[in-house]
Amino acid sequence: MKYKRILLKLSGESLMGDKQYGIDNEVVKQYAEDIKAVHAKGLEIAIVIGGGNIFRGLSAEKSGMDRAQADYMGMLATVINSMALQDALEKVGLKTRLLTAIKMEQICEPFIRRRAVRHLEKGRVVIFGAGTGNPYFTTDSAAALRAIEIKADVVLKGTRVDGIYTADPEKDPAATKYSEITFKEVYANGLNVMDMTAFTLCEENKLPIIVFDMNKAGNFMKIANGDGIGTLVKN
C-alpha cells in the first residue's frame, strides 16, 4: 500500500445521498464497507466528518444567530454523524474509537493526541468529532490539524466530485480535471479545495491532499493503492 496512516475527511453533505437533509443509511453502509476493505490491507485510518447535512454554523449566522453559538451547534452535528459512522463500522466488524474535542464522556473519549495515536497503532479506526472544539474553524481545519498531530501521510478528502477542476464541472461543461496540482497553483488559480486555514496548514507542514469521489464504491481502495484517481495537491 502507498500509505501507512491516513486521515479521511468526509463532508456532512456526502452522508445525505439523494436526501435533502440528514443521513442516508445506504451511503454510510457503503462507506463502512470501503473503509473495512482498506483497513484489512493494514492501513491505519482516522476520520473527520463535517456536519453540514444537519446544521451549518455559517448559514445560521446569516439568519441572525451568534456565530460562536452557531459553530458549537455545528460541532454537535459532527458528533451525530460520527456516531452514525461508528455504528456502521462496528456492524461490519471493525473496532473503533470516537474522540471529540468537546467532552461527552457518556458517548466518547476526549481527544488526547497520544491516546489517538495508540488507538491507531492497535488497529482501531479513530473518528475525530466536534471539529477543533473552537468556533470560527471548519471541519476542514480540524482534519488538517488532526492529520498533522497524528503524523498522517496524507489527507484524503472524500467528496461528491472526482477531483479538482479548472472550474465548477456542474456549471461549466468545459471544465477539465487536474490529476496533480501544487499548493501555489491552487492559490494562483483561485481554486476552492479546502478553507484557507486548513489549506495553509497542510502546505506549511508538507502534508499532501487528495480530493476524490468517495461515493463511488471502490474508490477509497484505489486511492490507498496509489492509483491515479482524484487530484493530488502537493508542495
Q: Is 135 annotated as a binding residue?
A: yes
Q: Is 24 annotated as a binding residue?
A: no
Q: What is the 3-state secondary structure (H, E, C) of 53-102?
A: CCCCHHHHHHCCCCHHHHHHHHHHHHHHHHHHHHHHHHHCCCCEEEEECC
Q: Is 187 annotated as a binding residue?
A: no
Q: Is 5 annotated as a binding residue?
A: no
Q: Is 9 annotated as a binding residue?
A: yes
Q: Is 165 annotated as a binding residue?
A: yes
Q: Is 179 annotated as a binding residue?
A: no
Q: Is 11 annotated as a binding residue?
A: yes
* 193 burial type by CB count under 10 A (0-12 exposed, 13-18 middle, 19+ buried): buried
C-alpha R_g of the chain: 17
CA distance 73 to 166: 34
Q: Is 136 annotated as a binding residue?
A: yes
The C-alpha cell of 162 is what?
A: 472526482
Q: Is 52 annotated as a binding residue?
A: yes
Q: Is 166 annotated as a binding residue?
A: no
Identify any residues that bridge with 117 across adjacent strands, giving them in sequence order.
none
User: How remote is the C-alpha of 139 from its chain's centroid?
Assistant: 8
Q: Is 169 annotated as a binding residue?
A: no
* 21 burial type by CB count under 10 A (0-12 exposed, 13-18 middle, 19+ buried): exposed
Q: Is 12 annotated as a binding residue?
A: yes
Q: Is 139 annotated as a binding residue?
A: yes
User: How remote is the C-alpha of 7 from its chain's centroid?
Assistant: 7
Using CA atoms of 22, 50, 101, 57 in order, give the dihedral in degrees to the nearest 10: -80
**Known binding-site residue numbers for ATP:** 9-12, 52, 56, 159, 165, 168
**Known binding-site residue numbers:** 9-12, 51-52, 56, 71, 132-139, 159, 165, 168
**Known binding-site residue numbers for UMP:** 51, 71, 132-139
